Structure 1
Amino acid sequence: MTIDEVSKKFNLTKDTLRYWERIGLLPEIQRNQSGYRDYDEHAVNWVYYIMVLRKAGMSIESLSEFVKLLREGDQTIAARKSLFIEQRDALIERRDNINKTLRYLDYKIDHFEDHMLGYENEKLAYEGKLTEEK
């Protein structure tokens, strides 16, 4: 596959693909006779793998560490798994914070008129125009 095809397939910019290759997140991409990148199935799988981990919020630094560990072999399995666990935990925390924010926004939306009425009453009271019914 050409870089253009890979870019479109995964909705990534060509610059992103070149960057990932340059910093070593992707294996060396073979070139065709004209010198253009020619992504084989292995390289395409790596693009997908890195893309998913980036969507999970994994930093470039953590990804670089993961790839370095991967290249060191099976003795790094525990360390690689630990990186994934840390990332999953960070994602869970992020999800929980998003859920809290959504609950707050839902409350604000559901009670929007009440809040506006409260503000209007506060404004009228401030201006001395509020008449309280007893």
Structure 2
Amino acid sequence: MNVKEASKLTGVSTDTIRYYEKEGLIPQIDRNDAGNREIDEKIIRRITFAKQMRAAGMSIKALKEYTDLVDDFEDNTEQQKRILQEQIGAMQEREDDIKFAIDHLKYKLEHYEDHMQKTENELRQLETSDGK
């Protein structure tokens, strides 16, 4: 199948598929005589794997390191587990940041009348008094 068909099948944009190939997250894709990519089931599985790992929050750098270990054909289990553990830590940090942001927004909403409206009015006054 071509890259457009692979995109439709995997839900990954054609640009992202090309990027994954360029970055080595998926193997080099064979091309036909016309120079068009010919994507087989092996590549589809790798695109899907990369998509899932990215959706889980894995960085491109970590995913490249991980896929290099997979492609090494050695037993790299401990290194692969280390990468996954590091990614869990990174996602937990993001989770804390997101939780803080949600709590902050909830506070703002709960105190809209006594806090947000006052602040917004002050901002408007600054805008109208600046340079006018």
Normalised by the shorter chain, which TM-score bucket?
Answer: 0.7 to 0.9
1:28 matched to 2:28:
yes
Partner of 1:25, secondary structure, is: coil
Q: 1:76 maps to what in 2?
A: 76
Q: 1:12 maps to what in 2?
A: 12
Q: CA–CA distance in 2 between the matches of 1:50 and 1:117? A: 45
Q: TM-score, normalised by structure 1?
A: 0.75
User: Does the C-alpha gap of structure 1 residues 116 and 42 become closer, same or farther in structure 2, counting only changes over 3 Å?
Assistant: closer
CA RMSD of aligned residues (A): 2.4
Q: CA–CA distance in 2 between the matches of 1:77 and 1:117? A: 55
Q: 1:131 maps to what in 2?
A: none
Gaps of 5+ in 2: 123-132
Q: CA–CA distance in 2 between the matches of 1:93 and 1:49? A: 23
User: Does the C-alpha gap of structure 1 residues 86 and 116 become closer, same or farther in structure 2, counting only changes over 3 Å?
Assistant: closer
Which structure is larger by alpha-carbon Rg, 1 or 2?
1
Q: 1:44 maps to what in 2?
A: 44
Q: CA deviation at 1:3?
A: 0.5
Q: CA deviation at 1:78?
A: 0.7
Render the CA deviation track for 1:96-117: whole Å, top value 9, x for unaligned.
Answer: 2101110110111011112257
Q: 1:114 maps to what in 2?
A: 114
List structure 1 runs of 4+ shifted beyond 6 angstroms.
Answer: none
Taking only the aligned residue pairs, the percentage that are identical comes to 38
Q: How many residues are treated as equivalent by the alignment? A: 121
Q: 1:91 maps to what in 2?
A: 91
Partner of 1:37, secondary structure, is: coil
Contact in 1 for aligned 2:108/2:116 (Cα 8 Å)? no
Partner of 1:105, secondary structure, is: helix
Q: 1:63 maps to what in 2?
A: 63
Gaps of 5+ in 1: 123-134
User: Does the C-alpha gap of structure 1 residues 78 and 113 become closer, same or farther in structure 2, counting only changes over 3 Å?
Assistant: same
